[in-house]
């Protein structure tokens, strides 16, 4: 689960990770009031969406008067922001963050993520703040300093020193930086974060470090022990169909093709998409029905797939393990009574009781249901059906 910048900064503040003062606003009037509350003569108006690259997309702007706060808030609230992380459709800006200006001496980068190879959290720092860190990593990997922290010992001062000296900080800055990094590590561990990214991390003219931005993602498996973080979930940032699916225990992701897919297991679901591509077609979605493919989940799956008007055929690919295929076949037949499935459905059931399942489908003799013998056969038939070809 991801959260907004303003929410990440609320968490930072609880851990004494320095951030500029600011308030979130849902309207232009509120934005101006927030600026007045903050005082000063310079403010930053920032679009709050779950995507990076907001500045380059025109979603972060500097205001030097309350009038300017008003005009920028008017401009940014309600705009569709397109960045390298939103996709071409962009994201609607529904809230903005009004933040006090900061005197910037230097812009750095600091992040914490899990290093899968080392199996421990790693802090990553770079002097190349403000840039896309992926580009820095690709072009000049030596400019990124990485320090892994063994969770058995936690963050120690030496971890901080390795980062600070690696960055080439001045003597009087090192203590401040180590304190900042230690606090950020604590934020990461105590909240079961999946990733934290501060880009830029600002060094002020007085040698202090301030989180000018804040991105946080969390381990979904650990949300049960953080109700206060779960409460930060912004459903408007999530795809409606994907959300609906998840409420029924289905994992759905919409794609651009015309062959709908319904599969059990994430790996086989991806493998099915790959096979559709391999035989010259294009998958309309990823859909993992999980371990329990019953009439209700299959019906819901059909419903969600058919909301996509591009779908011209559906490939149901189930490898029955503990769940027997004959039961799944009955589930599919029942589902077709619950939902009006108006496109050809190609069904491949393999595994436990596959023969019985094929017989059930054959006897039901529903004109839209076509059986397939294996994965390759099913994919070919589904692609042919989607393209209006003969079966």
Residues found near another protein in the complex (CB under 8 A)? 85, 114, 116-117, 119-121, 134, 138, 150-152, 189, 192, 194, 219-222, 224-225, 251, 253, 255, 263-271, 273-279, 283, 286, 288, 319-322, 350-352, 374-376, 379
How far apart are CB 55 and another protein at their closest, in Å? Answer: 19
Provide the minimum distance between the beta carbon of 324 and another protein in the complex, in angstroms, as a whole number.
Answer: 9
Strands (E), the chain: 2-3, 22-25, 43-47, 60-63, 80-81, 91-92, 96-100, 104-115, 120-126, 144-148, 193-204, 209-211, 215-218, 251-254, 259-263, 285-288, 313-320, 345-351, 369-371
Q: Which of 99, 128, 162, 197 is catalytic?
A: 197
Distance (Å, whole) CA 176 – CA 179: 5
Degrees (nearest 5) of the Cα angle 290, 296, 301? 60
Residue placing its CB nearer to another protein in the complex, 68 or 244: 244
CB of 376 to another protein, least distance (A): 3
Closest residue by Cα to residue 337 from 305, 298, 308: 298
d(CA 269, CA 379): 12
CA distance 81 to 69: 18
Among residues 122 and 174, whose Cβ is nearest to another protein?
122
Quote the CA–CA distance of 343 and 236 in Å, as a whole number: 31
Complex with another protein: residue 28 or 250, whichever CB lies closer: 250
Cα–Cα distance measured from residue 304 to residue 286, given in angstroms and rounded to the nearest whole number: 11
Residue 6 falls in the annotated catalytic set: no
Report the nearest approach of another protein to the CB of residue 23 (Å). 30
From 109, 185, 188, 252, the catalytic residue: 109
Tokens of 15: 């851990």
Q: Which is nearer to another protein, 69 or 273 (CB)?
A: 273
d(C-alpha 389, C-alpha 387), whole Å: 6
**Smaller CB distance to another protein: residue 174 or 270?**
270
Closest contact distance (angstroms) between CB of 265 and another protein is 3
Is 109 designated active site?
A: yes
Q: Which residues does the annotation mark as catalytic? A: 109, 197
């Amino acid at each position: 689960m991801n959260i907004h910048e303003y929410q990440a900064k609320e968490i930072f503040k609880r851990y004494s990770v320095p951030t500029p003062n600011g308030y979130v606003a849902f309207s232009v009037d509120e934005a101006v009031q927030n600026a007045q509350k903050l005082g000063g003569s310079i403010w930053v108006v920032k679009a709050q969406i779950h995507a990076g690259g907001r500045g380059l997309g025109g979603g972060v702007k500097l205001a030097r008067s309350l009038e300017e706060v008003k005009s920028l808030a008017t401009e940014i609230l309600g705009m569709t922001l397109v960045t390298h992380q939103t996709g071409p459709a962009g994201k609607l800006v529904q809230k903005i963050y009004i933040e006090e200006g900061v005197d910037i001496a230097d812009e750095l980068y600091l992040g914490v993520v899990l290093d899968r190879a080392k199996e421990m959290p790693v802090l990553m720092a770079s002097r190349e703040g403000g840039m896309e860190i992926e580009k820095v990593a690709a072009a000049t990997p030596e400019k990124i300093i990485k320090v892994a922290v063994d969770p058995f010992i936690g963050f120690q001062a030496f971890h901080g020193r390795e980062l600070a000296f690696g960055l080439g900080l001045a003597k009087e800055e090192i203590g401040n930086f180590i304190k900042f990094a230690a606090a950020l590590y604590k934020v990461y561990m105590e909240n079961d974060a999946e990733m934290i990214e501060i880009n830029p991390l600002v060094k002020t003219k007085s040698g202090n470090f301030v989180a000018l931005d804040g991105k946080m993602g969390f381990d979904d498996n650990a949300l049960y022990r953080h109700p206060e973080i779960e409460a930060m979930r912004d459903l408007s940032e999530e795809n409606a169909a994907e959300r609906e699916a998840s409420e029924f225990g289905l994992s759905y992701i919409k794609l651009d093709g015309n062959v709908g897919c319904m599969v059990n297991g994430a790996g086989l679901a991806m493998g099915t998409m790959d096979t559709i591509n391999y035989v010259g077609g294009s998958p309309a979605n990823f859909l993992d029905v999980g371990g329990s493919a019953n009439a209700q989940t299959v019906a819901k799956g059909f419903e969600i797939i058919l909301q996509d008007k591009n779908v011209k055929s559906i490939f149901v690919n189930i490898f029955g393990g503990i769940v027997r295929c004959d039961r799944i076949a009955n589930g599919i037949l029942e589902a077709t009574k619950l939902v009006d499935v108006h496109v050809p459905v190609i069904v491949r059931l393999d595994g436990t009781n596959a023969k019985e399942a094929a017989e059930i489908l054959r006897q039901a003799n529903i004109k839209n249901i076509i059986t397939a013998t294996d994965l390759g056969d099913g994919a070919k038939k589904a692609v042919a059906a989607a393209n209006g070809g003969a079966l």
